[in-house]
Chain A
Amino acid sequence: MLIQKPADIAPSEITPEGVYFNRRQFMLGSAGLLLSGETLAALAGKKSPLSSADKPNSLKEITTYNNYYEFGTDKSEPALYAGSLKTRPWNVVVDGEVGKARSFGIEELLKQPLEERIYRLRCVEGWSMVIPWIGFPLASLLKQVAPTSRAKYVAFETLQRPAEMPGQRSRVLDWPYREGLRMDEAMHPLTILAVGLYNDVLPNQNGAPIRLVVPWKYGFKSIKSIVRIHLQEQMPATSWNMANAHEYGFYSNVNPEVDHPRWSQASERRIGEFLKRKTLPFNGYGDQVASLYRGMDLRRNF
């Protein structure tokens, strides 16, 4: 008589998919209630084929290890001091080389069709994370203001409010924080404006209430707490480039071949992992974005 050995039980047969996918929402809900004492509006985002399959970092890792110099230069400081930032009322002015310049209230921005985008984030300092952002393509916002043919670049500006952003009282950077993208980079489907993460609104230390996320560039390109988006013909000045042009270029695409003058960019430490990983060109998004830079010397245009 043939005795059949039972097949191994797959984890998916034990935990219902719905419970599995919502486990973080449950955790986040309780954490949010504990931390804020108020009800935060949960955000839902449609799943996206552009999301990475990598395992996201924990909410604690994502919200306690931040580079946000407006709240201090130590990575633990934003979580401690960003609570003072008032994110309502909030408006984002979109103007410059556009047909229909206007201001968007945060309530309106939160009503855009939202998607969940699980992206890798590679910091120029040599560490990386995986973050489940909630947001919408920057392109869909830019289309609403009808860019003119002279719109070659997009300039972004962070809020400047030293009373609520203690880091701005020191001259560590030339405030307000500024960033920029070329028009084709800004219109790329991977480029999003994030308004949340882990199915909830953005915590202040992560750039509330609205921030840029450009996953194939070093993290500092993804400017936080945006109040102005200006379309223009000239390449905009950007904060880290202004601070040290020798070390931080306008493009700042993740590139393992081009070292930072003071350290190697060939590998990275994924937060939560012991061994280092090899850094991938364009942070692993080369298939989607390498064509934007065809013919460009990326060693010179670092």
Chain B
Amino acid sequence: MTTLRMKNPAASRQPTRFNWLKIAVFLLALLPLARAAWIVLSGMAVNPVEFITRSTGTWTLSFLLITLAISPLRQLSGWSWPLRLRRMLGLYAFFYGSLHLTTYMWLDQFFDWGGMLHDIAKRPFITVGFAAMLLMTPLAITSTQGWMRRLKRNWGRLHRLVYPVAMLGVLHYWWLVKKDLTQPLLYGTALVFLLGWRLYRRWRQP
């Protein structure tokens, strides 16, 4: 669609502005990865695997929360342009989540399948983290225009899975920390507000 419009200079004004926005957000969203790569490659991280695991994990949660903030932002501000960024931000949540899972499977477990199955079955924080990734996968797969058309009304139903995904993600962080709950509390509070806003609107406008 974009390419078609690009060929017609007369109609390209408005879409071009949005493309710039998309390109800017696309690049911005890669900054956490660039930062992590810089810290690891320059030798600043004493325990690089732990650092990569934490960094990709917290950025997965951040992108999930940013994605969930799009609708409230539109409703509160009346702007419609944030909606155009939602799919990309959601896909970035999946992207950082995949890096997080890969780090665990490769650099932590070295593909010890037995050990991983044991972890998933026995360690609740891994169980919920794994479940969140599993539930996020169909959302990433069906994020295309084609799947939106094919699934029709069910597409919206399916994508409500993002709510349990975010809840499981916060729970995963909550159950993982040793003592200091400050960070998980921050993510948890943001999630409560984002989901609470939706409940509030539903209750106010039946």
Contact = CB atoms under 8 A, between A and B. Distances in A.
Asked if A pairs with B, the answer is: yes
Given A65-B47, A264-B115, A269-B49, A276 B110 contact: yes
Interface in A218-255: 243-244
A243 B125 CA distance: 19
A173 B180 CA distance: 9
Contacts of A127: 47, 50
A269 B103 CA distance: 14
Nearest to A220: B178
A61 interface: yes
B16 to A, nearest CB: 43
Interface centre among A60, A75, A262, A269 (most CB of B within 10 A): A262
A276 B49 CA distance: 11
A73 B123 contact: no
A269 B123 contact: no
A275 interface: yes
A274 B118 CA distance: 22
Nearest to A167: B180
A262 B127 CA distance: 11
A54 interface: no
B179 interface: yes
Interface in A262-295: 262-264, 269, 271, 275-276
Interface residues of B toward A: which range?
10 to 19
A164 B115 CA distance: 44
A276 B47 CA distance: 12
A125 interface: yes
Contacts of A60: 46
A64 interface: yes
Contacts of B180: 69, 73, 172
A65 B123 CA distance: 26
Contacts of A69: 179-180
Nearest to A266: B115
Interface residues of A toward B: which range?
20 to 34
A173 B181 CA distance: 12
B178 A61 contact: no
A125 B176 CA distance: 11
Nearest to B46: A65
Interface in B92-138: 108, 110, 115, 118-119, 123-125
Nearest to A65: B46
A172 B175 CA distance: 16
Nearest to B109: A276
Contact of A262 (B49, B50, B176): B176
Contacts of B49: 269
Contacts of A64: 46
Nearest to A244: B179
Contacts of A61: 46
Nearest to B43: A60
B135 to A, nearest CB: 22
B175 A262 contact: yes
B183 to A, nearest CB: 9
A102 B180 CA distance: 37
Contact of B119 (A244, A264, A276): A264
A263 B118 CA distance: 11
A156 B27 CA distance: 52
Closest 8 CB pairs of A and B: A65-B46, A73-B180, A61-B46, A172-B180, A172-B179, A64-B46, A262-B123, A271-B47
23 contacts: A60-B46, A61-B46, A64-B46, A65-B46, A73-B180, A73-B182, A75-B46, A75-B47, A125-B178, A127-B50, A172-B179, A172-B180, A244-B179, A262-B124, A262-B176, A263-B123, A264-B115, A264-B119, A269-B49, A271-B47, A275-B110, A276-B108, A276-B110
